[in-house]
Structure 1
């Protein structure tokens, strides 16, 4: 089910591009099937059973991928999948085919729904946190859908900042809780919670902070109203079924285990009731219909957290019923707002008038949904609120205080419900009837279904009681719980009914005196979370700038020197405190063969010479020679695989350095060089001595046999003969996964340094998809060459086309004559396919011989480097027909897909498997699962090198040409004037 969501998210952009907005109908099938599947699990859950699935993830760290469904999980699944299905149907009529970024929106929305499902079904704390953060990231993308709008970007960043802060606090709490409990399995923690103590109390406080930030409780509520910049379908799903419901779910999940812990109950109830009152009071003063609902959601979320965190059976039953009721009334209200906005062009209730007659369908849907929100019979909201009031009518003073706060918050709820209905649909004095175009039936249908379920939920609440009671029975009975704790429309003439009547009357009074309420609210608005947040962030930015300015001087030698000094000092202390010199001295061999002296001497000499050269290029060459010497050392010690990788990395690094040096001064600063030389020698010598001494201690201090003795056996089990390759893609695959992720981040960092402005849209001119804007024609057209002309707005049919029998490299035609080398062009043309074939050979032989995905990718990158050096950036564009970002993304996706596929089919994440496959006339071939992972590494490395060439090569070429053109424009007239004076 979860995998289907993420696969659908991957293909969603394609479906929307093919079918336009109607593609949302197809996307709604997956959450729809998830809803149907969940309904089929009802008999099992009602019988007291559960559904669980577990796959080993990292057993040595007690981590696993576990899914668990009980009554709470089933209810939340129905909400997330069911409401998601209807909102996707709504999207098919809400958006137009010309909507900007619609394919991306579709993919992110489906992934968002999948992440929410994963969150409510996760049975591992770390797994839950991953889905938690995925919902944060996806909501950030959805809220910021209108990327051209500064308000949307600011709202998305606010939501990301606040929820990420809470998420980090929650992660620390989860780790503390998991370590204290001895397990990270949520169902096991709930069944056998650890004893309350300082660690558990601290963990619960941190987890509650995470839940509060996610569910927008006070004082973290500021991000939710700002998120109204998102499209209405996002707002409806985010408020009714996802994101904000994550915090509510987390509290509901842990309350059966920790509801009796005072700090858990006090935080949930106190902040919940305060938020309920605060959100309701703010909603009474809003004029934007979406903001009325947004602050209403804040109020309702406080109500839900307070109920579910109380820790009694009656409150838990009422809380879960209110969760469902809230989803059923809040989603249709948001959908109606979207319909009104589409039909009238405004959401301002001061400009809306007479819609009750012109939009009767939307009006009656709103009446039913608002009745449920206000707690009026016979809706689901009334049933849940009656039960909620009853949960606190027989307690002590604390319960009476809670009940008073809930009644006050409910009065505000009735007030802003009437404000919404009056503002959206009724006639207003002095406002002419708003012109509308009536919505289609499909546009209104999802809201009708949800409002209808809200009404049926009240009328037929009693049959649903066993499902909700299954969860409530996991929470102990509260003291003095005499009020009948079961769902029904009529409990009799009890105190809760009187309190409901007081809420209705109080809400009517507030609505009648709405102008006075607005005046009073504006005069008493002492606390402004939005303003305080902006001030806090401005202060943090100022502090960060001051600290960074005083500690980060922008000097890489200083940074590296600081790191090495700290390393030397930190590692030297245990040498003396532990008296490590008393260990027996190892047998030292200066060399195995005299040949090893040659590369060692080269490394030493080049390292010393670097300290005295002033030209930057010379220092780079010396570093490269030293690196090649290290590669020779590796080879002579019997490690050809590492030697090959070192040789290739040094080659690419040398080219990158040379490309970058074009924008640097030729010489180092002489005073700075003299001042640093002694300091650099001391640091380098200390670091080298430390490395040698620690290696010595590591060898003589070993207490057990080396794990390397088992490497040949591991290679044999993995079906490989190259131990290094087996280690990288089988034994230590997680390390390799992290390393390629760092490479992808490095590529993004390099590109961001060079492309400060927004990247131009990739074009086919002059032959490849990597072409960037060019402001100056590279050269005038001559015979046998291609005139590229002005490429900034070049039509799509402009390409570099090879002129046969005249040029070997099409892109080289754009280079000035003095920069061309026919011999180099011919050689590079012949070498390119040879090098590419060699790279593929290294890729596929890496498991049994020297090579691998990393080495093969670098060799392929070298082929593109040769092509670029021979033909310039236009030849690079012409040769590389795939975007570097696409290669990097494909590589990461393939590596990640291998991990997920291994978990599904082999029972373990990144599990290895191998075998022989008969390819008919080609014979049998030995294939391994890790080969797929290695192909991902291969693609990512090629993409990295292409991105570096584009950023540090082609981009700098463009800048140099632009500077030359500017200099020619400014200095040309002066030079001509001087020439005329001389000739005259």
Structure 2
């Protein structure tokens, strides 16, 4: 439904303008209503299945499955997607062009994301995963006239696309080792071994790139060039959560295998700390939120990746809390940017009385992000501390210390965000270069503009005061990931214990960082960031371009023999390895009579002679002999139509060659070097042997009857013809024939155009000949 409506808006929604967002909101609204209607049964343990045959011959199908965790993601994707569509209808100017495309792309992306969180097998998940990468590229680069938007979109696509390819390799290794790609079957009977460990590392690389984990996190801050509705949707509840979702699905099954837990914990902690530290260096509100999102994603990766029931429960709570407060903050920042025309915290701070509502909403969401009591973010942070406070996994103390440090940074950059947005800059402070400092307070936004943010802020406040409202949903989601999770009972107060002490320590240290933010900024200015993700990305791209230039210069030097050799070697080497591992079947009968031997002899003699003769005309005649030999083979195999066609083609080809060869030297003047002749001989021998072996193996391992048998049986009854070849060409493979005719027609038009252009240029050159001057006249006469 989402994809259909999205494509319809892309194709025909131009006249709707920003009303396109209201039309687009119908689809997530309907999906949200469906999810809410089925939520009760799913929370009680029901699972909804759906399946559609995809590739029957390969036993592939598109299987969808909605359990408790999928339901949570569906509610977030559709709920926040609905609010973003309504918000976008107020965010953009009425006359702005291309809004129907943005609304349609948001819907297509929503469909892809729903496919990720409901896919029941790895291959279906991968298809939806790649669709999110492609659509996010289009969304980030929607303002295609902006070079920064194009560059950021490409960076996101290359990063997540490369990770997706690695993930596909991991899926194949795991699926082949397990004998199934079904997620439920993998959870029931997880495979083991070195191959599986390699596959898991590849899958984690894909998840890390999608969820902006170190060292792949540079693309997410760069994506802030996208319009705020896009940022709010992609970076709160959808795209960046795809990697977290995948880790959450696989961790309870594979966390104890090989390198999984050390890799996930180290990457998650480094991401959380570096993201929080870099957020303190930003002056753009959206970039503060972007690096804060990177930090929170590292937090989620740690919780879900460790694979224990307690951490899984905490991860579900934090995922829900993060989606609510981060989407809310993005929407409020969009309101500020829209009204004040700047996001620079050094140029903000003065507002009129009509801004009280957005301020309260932002403070509530920010307090939840900082983990202040009475808000849902506090409940999530307490659950996270409790998951590691009692040990359970190796290095729990180190992980807990890292989470506390990351949460301190979260409190600090939340203070930077709220103070920078709503507290006036001290006198004498200059705005950033290029920023617009509003002389007067910006106009107050309409209620309809900030109402979606207010709804999200209200939810995070209500769930903080009465967290038990989310207990059933959280418990169902956690149980669907790890059946070892005990029933969840969320509460605001669990008594005095280690988690509460750590929360108090986090708040105290965070408050110290906010109070000493000037000293912190001074320290940060003296301590450069050890790793610049953008510089690393640009260096990698430049390096790849240099390697590509060198490889292209080697394999494409402008020589047709080299081109042919590279193509043939690739065609031989890649499938050749598979042939070497295949059992060699018995040889089929190679010849059944003297006619077969005669045809084979004509083909061999003609082919060899064409390579050794030195006269061009003789080579053409030898090639013609090869063609007539093939016609003889067709006659012997009972295909006179094909034989006649082959004879016609070879005869016509010979005529064309003769007409062309009149303008070329009689003999081949260029003699290849010894190395060149040796290379050609080796490549030719490899191709010949490979084709022979391939045909023998293909015939010997056939398990299904050839399709030609069905052609013969159906030619008369369904095609109405006794000539099977004609029926195949005209009826059974009519579209193929039409395609071939189209290709030939296009080629003929191209040749005709080139020939006509060549004659015209020749006439023009001759018409300019008198202008060469007297000095050229004797030379022209000669």
Same fold judged by TM-score > 0.5? yes
| 8 Å contact kept, 1:648–1:859 | no
Structure with more contact order per residue of length (Cα contacts < 8 Å, sep ≥ 6) = 2
Query: 1:150-299 maps to which residues of 2 (within 5 A)?
Result: 150-194=147-191, 196-261=192-257, 263-299=259-295
Report the RMSD for the aligned CA atoms in angstroms: 4.8
| Contact 2:265–2:305, Cα closer than 8 Å, also in 1 | yes
Once the two structures are superposed, residues 429-456 of structure 1 have per-residue CA deviations (whole angstroms, 9 ceiling, x without a partner) of: 2376555243333322222222222222
Partner of 1:52, secondary structure, is: strand
Q: CA deviation at 1:605?
A: 9.2
Q: Which residue of structure 2 lines up, in the alignment, with residue 307 of structure 1?
A: 303
Unaligned runs of 5+ in 2: 428-436
- Tell me how far 1:18 sits from its aligned partner: 2.5
What's the counterpart of residue 707 of structure 1? Answer: 705
Shift of 1:683: 7.0
Residue of structure 2 equivalent to 1:16? 13
Distance apart, 1:197 and its partner CA: 3.4
Matches within 5 A, 1:710-789: 711-712=709-710, 716=714, 720-721=718-719
Check whether the contact 1:564–1:687 (CA below 8 A) recurs between aligned residues.
no
Q: Is the 8 A contact 1:649 1:858 kept in 2?
A: no
3-state DSSP class of the match of 2:45? coil
Which residue does 1:522 correspond to in 2?
525
User: CA offset at residue 550 of structure 1?
Assistant: 3.7
**TM-score, normalising length from structure 1?**
0.68
**Cα offset, 1:59, TM superposition:** 5.3
C-alpha distance in 2, partners of 1:847/1:72? 52
- Residue 859 of structure 1 is matched in structure 2 by 741
1:948-963 alignment, distance < 5 Å? 949=750
SS at match of 1:57: strand
Q: Decide whether aligned partners of structure 1 residues 342 and 972 sit closer, same or farther in structure 2, where only a CA change above 3 A counts.
A: farther
Q: How many residues align?
A: 764
Q: Deviations over 1:619-651 (max 9, x none)?
A: 999989987996796588555887899899999
Match of 1:66 in 2: 63
Matches within 5 A, 1:244-643: 244-261=240-257, 263-355=259-351, 357=353, 359-395=355-391, 398-430=395-427, 433-473=439-479, 474-475=481-482, 486-524=489-527, 525-561=529-565, 564=568, 586-591=590-595, 604=606, 608=610, 634=634, 637-639=637-639
Partner of 1:125: 122
2:445 partner SS: coil
Distance 2:740 2:606 in 1: 27
Task: Tell me the equivalent position of 1:799.
Answer: none
Cα distance in 2 between the residues matched to 1:127 and 1:56: 11
| Contact 2:264–2:306 (Cα < 8 Å) also in 1 | yes
Which sections of structure 1, spanning at least 5 residues, go unmatched? 728-841, 869-948
Distance in 1 separating the partners of 2:440 and 2:723: 70
Contact 2:152 2:223 in 1 (8 A): yes
CA gap of 1:380–1:975, structure 2 versus 1, over 3 A, is farther
Q: What is the CA-CA distance between 1:282 and the residue it aligns to?
A: 0.4
Q: Note if contact 1:575-1:581 (Cα within 8 Å) is conserved in structure 2.
A: no
Q: Which residue does the alignment assign to 2:433?
A: none
Which residue pairs with 2:431 in the alignment?
none
Distance 2:453 2:403 in 1: 28
Structure 1 residues 423 and 17 mapped into 2: Cα distance closer, same or farther (>3 Å)?
same
In structure 2, do the counterparts of structure 1 residues 977 and 246 end up closer, same or farther at CA, with 3 Å as the change threshold?
A: same
**Which whole-Å deviations, capped at 9, do the CAs of 1:18-62 have from their partners, x for residues lacking one?**
311211211121122111111112122122121112334345645
Q: Hey, what does 1:796 align to over in structure 2? A: none
Distance apart, 1:955 and its partner CA: 8.5
CA distance in 1, matches of 2:146, 2:328: 26
Q: Secondary structure at the match of 2:307?
A: coil
Q: Select 2:73's aligned residue among 73, 76, 89.
A: 76
Instruction: Decide which of 26, 39, 44 is 1:42's aligned counterpart.
Output: 39
Q: 1:83 to 1:539 in 2, by over 3 A?
A: same
Closer, same or farther in 2 for the Cα pair 1:655/1:157, shift >3 Å?
A: farther
Asked if the contact 1:344/1:434 (under 8 Å) is kept, the reply is no
> C-alpha separation between the residues in 2 aligned to 1:717 and 1:235?
58
Give the distance between the partners of 1:651 and 1:31, measured in 2 at CA.
64
Cα separation, partners in 2 of 1:336 and 1:630, compared to 1, 3 Å: farther
Structure 2 CA distance for aligned equivalents of residues 657 and 103 of structure 1: 56
Task: Name the SS for the 2:13 alignment partner.
Answer: helix
Say whether the 8 Å CA contact 2:17–2:98 is kept in structure 1: no
Deviations 1:859-903 (A, max 9, x none): 35656777x5xxxxxxxxxxxxxxxxxxxxxxxxxxxxxxxxxxx
Do 2:368 and 2:376's aligned partners in 1 also have CA atoms closer than 8 Å? Answer: yes
Partner of 2:144: 147
